[in-house]
Structure formats: structure tokens, C-alpha cells
Amino acid sequence: MYSSDEISYFNTIKTPFYYYKMEYFKNNLEKIKNAAGKYGYVVHYAMKANANDKLLGIIKDFGFGADCVSGNEVQKAIDLGFKPKEIAFAGVGKSDFEINLALDNDIFSFNCESIQELEIIDEFAAKKGKIAQIALRINPNVNANTHHYITTGLEENKFGINRWEFDKIIELLKSKKNIHLIGIHFHIGSQITDLDVFKNLCIRVNEIQKYFTENHILLEHINVGGGLGVDYEHPDKDDFPDFEAFFRLFDRFLELRSGQKLHFEIGRAMVAQAGDLITRVLFVKNGINTNFAIVDAGMTELIRPALYQAYHKIENITSKEGIDFYDVVGPICESSDTFGKTVQMTETKRGDLIAIRTIGAYGEVMASRYNLRDLAKSYYSDEIE
Ligand code: LLP
């Protein structure tokens, strides 16, 4: 998994740290670009998955757009050279400051989630003498079959505009002169591994499109969001996610009208497998059923196991001998600060390096300074001396 040069390098760095495998990362971007390019689909990178400058710069150079969910993300995308006309701005609660910032930069699209938001964007755009391009984020009521914290496309979720509000919105759009409807937007959830879920989304989008056609509204853009899951069990398998199958499915099942462009907002699947969290064992102690391997990374560096009971493969990359079971836990004063229970690893001792895999998405970017811990640094395979 790692070369001996990499492991020697790791031994010279202060742990914990994030480690990004740049060749893998670029290959992955190439695959996405080619698979989407076949159909002329537009891919925006969902910056929330990882806003690391170096990775973002590469994503921009590959020609992907940006999907932002805060004013700071919009600003960062612009600072790093993403074209404003390739920036979509989503989010259920955009502040006045964020709306004005996005208006000042003439972004591609505000993905709007409520009637009140439409009214406010229209009002602010009017004050600036601008016409804002907007897309309606529609709640399609499609079940993503994923963890309930990362399910977003059900009527019970806070996201999007529900079907029963459509007529009112169409009326509103007729009277508002400073917003221009360019499309509709969906995002049903994250870490979706069953492609049938996306098929269900396509079927729902087709139904919803009929409504707009019947109301003589031409939509230039359909944005189906992100959500494609990755294989956390097999971090070294590089044929998953299957981007070819993913985009092919939309080509087969989503009925685009002539001239319409289909957009995606891919976050996790672009970056997840490119990163690992490297941590060192501080102490090993015996528990009732297993041993505890207490490592120097905690939920402050990777919150996914604590927050979503997420699985990340854990490997001892120092020791090659023996086998035992460990609860791999961090130093934070919370019982949820556990990376994995009853993890089978080679015999583990103080000082060993442990790799927590597939943390490129929603790892570094969700870090916190809880317990006043320092933020962990990032290192890159192409910078190893
Ligand atoms: N578009 C919108 C509007 C979104 O809300 C999201 C993610 C994406 C795109 C990108 O979805 P992806 O391709 O990454 O699945 N922190 C959680 C995941 C939260 C996802 C939130 N929205 C986790 O660690 O699993």
C-alpha cells in the first residue's frame, strides 16, 4: 500500500497528518473527466468535500466547475481561479452577505431552496441593477438509502422546494424581474452505492420536467447534484466508483430536452480515496474483550466514525507480525472518539504508525480544534524528497 520510501518519510513527520496520493488523485479526475465528457455533461466539484488548496488547484486545472455552499467557499473558488460562470451556490440558509458576494461576482447559479430566498435574491439583485441566474432546488422525495444524517431528498428533510409549492413559485417568477430561472437542481444524499437510487432520481426528474414543459417554461440546465459513494472496505481497489456506469445511467434514463445541459456536483467520489490519515500509537492497554490501541489522531482530525458510525479501514503500517484485535481510539475525552471497534491488525505496540484509509472526503475539511488541539497538516506523495 505504501512504498518503503513513503514509510521512512512518514517517520520524519509529526503525526497525525493527512497524506494525499497525488497520482491516484489525478488518475481519478481523469476518469471522471473522460466518463462525463462522453456525454457532454458538466461536472462541478462539491468543495465541501475537501477545500485543500493544492487539491482544489488541480481540480480547477482539470476544468471542473465548483459547487459551493458558503460565501467563503465562493470566495475561495474565485481566488483559486475557478471561473465565476462555473460556480453554483447551494445552501438552505444563505446569509445577506453571502448573497451579495455571489451577486457581485456574477456566479453561474444560485440554487434556491425557498420562496423567501427567491424574493430576497430578487430584491438584492434589483438594488445592484443585476439579474441573478437561479435554479430551483427541488426536493424530489427519493430515498437515497444511505445514513439518515446524509439523506437530503425526502420531504421530511429541510432541503429544497416541495412539489406543492411549484404553482406559487411559477406565479412569483412571473413578477420578479431580477431573477432569471435557468434550471432545476436536485441532491438526494451522499455515499450512495446503489445505482438504482439514481435511476429513481432520473425517473422523478423526468416527471418534474413535464410540469415545467406543460407550463411553457424552458429550462436550460438540469443539475442532479452529487452523492456517488465510494468503497470504504477496499481502499486499494481503483475501479470503484464506476464513473462509466454512473454517467451511462443518466444517459439512459434521464430525458434531456434538446439543448439542455446536465450538471453534476461530485464531492466524495473525486477525493475520498486519495487521502489517508496517518497516526501513531501512543499506548496499548487491555480492555475486557479487546485491547485498546490509543492513537494520537482523534475525532478532531476525522469525525466521520463518531458522527455517522462510518467505517474506515484501519491498518498498522509498521508491524508485519502476528495478529490481534484492537479498539482503535483517539485521545479526546469522548467515548465516541473511536475509529473502529474490534479491528483486526498485526500486533500493535507503542510507536507504530497506523493508516486510517479513505479520508480524502469530509476528513480534513471537517477538522476541529476541540480540546484546543492543533490542526493536522497535509502532505503529498509528489512532494516526498
Ligand atoms: N451537492 C449538494 C447540494 C450537497 O449537499 C452535497 C453534499 C454534494 C453536492 C456532494 O455530495 P457527495 O458527492 O460528496 O456525496 N459529511 C458527510 C457528507 C455530507 C454531504 C453533504 N452534501 C460525510 O462525511 O459522509
Indicate which atom in ligand 1 lies nearest the CA of residue 268. Answer: 14
Predicted confidence at residue 288, as pLDDT, reads 80
Is residue 155's pLDDT more than 70? no
Cα(49) to centroid of ligand 1, in Å?
Answer: 7
Could you tell me which of 125, 38, 51, 111 has the C-alpha nearest to residue 82?
51
Tens of pLDDT, residue by residue over 31-85, are 999 999 999 999 999 999 999 999 999 999 999 999 999 999 999 999 999 999 9
- Cα dihedral sign, 332-336-337-341: positive
* Nearest C-alpha neighbor of 316 from the set 366, 281, 284: 281
> Average per-residue pLDDT in the chain?
95
Output the CA 243–ligand 1 centroid distance in Å.
Answer: 17
The helix or strand, by DSSP H or E, that contains position 195, with its residue range, turns out to be: helix 195-214
pLDDT at 152: 65
Return d(Cα 339, Cα 377) in angstroms, integer: 19
Q: CA triplet 382, 300, 279: central angle to 5 degrees?
A: 50
CA distances from 232 to 105, 321, 336 (A): 38, 24, 20
- Reported confidence tier of residue 332, pLDDT bands at 50, 70, 90: very high
Q: What is the pLDDT of residue 316?
A: 98
Q: How far is ligand 1, taken at its centre, from the CA of residue 268, in Å?
A: 7
Ligand 1 pocket mutation, candidates 32, 48, 266, 356, criterion most atoms within 8 A of CB: 48
- Whether the per-residue pLDDT at 379 is higher than 80: the answer is yes
C-alpha of residue 45 to centroid of ligand 1, in Å: 11
Q: What domains can you pick out in the chain, each with its CATH number?
A: 4-17+273-383 (2.40.37.10), 22-272 (3.20.20.10)
The whole-model pTM stands at: 0.96
Residue located nearest, by CA, to atom 1 of ligand 1: 225
Tens of pLDDT, residue by residue over 267-311, are 999 999 999 999 999 999 987 888 999 999 999 999 999 999 999
pLDDT given for residue 141 in this prediction: 81
pLDDT, greater one: 193 or 287 = 193
For residue 159, what pLDDT band results from cuts at 50, 70 and 90?
A: confident
Q: How far is the CA of 267 from the centre of ligand 1 (A)?
A: 6
Contact call for residues 267 and 45 (beta carbons, < 8 A): yes
Q: Which of 113, 187, 201 is the best mutation target for the ligand 1 pocket, counting ligand atoms within 8 Å of the beta carbon and taking the most?
A: 187
> In the 8-state DSSP scheme, what is residue 68?
E
Residues 6+ apart with CB under 8 A from 153: 139, 140, 141, 142, 143, 144, 159, 160, 186, 187, 188, 189, 201
Residue 26 has a CB neighbour count (10 Å cut-off) of 16
CA distance 348 to 261: 53
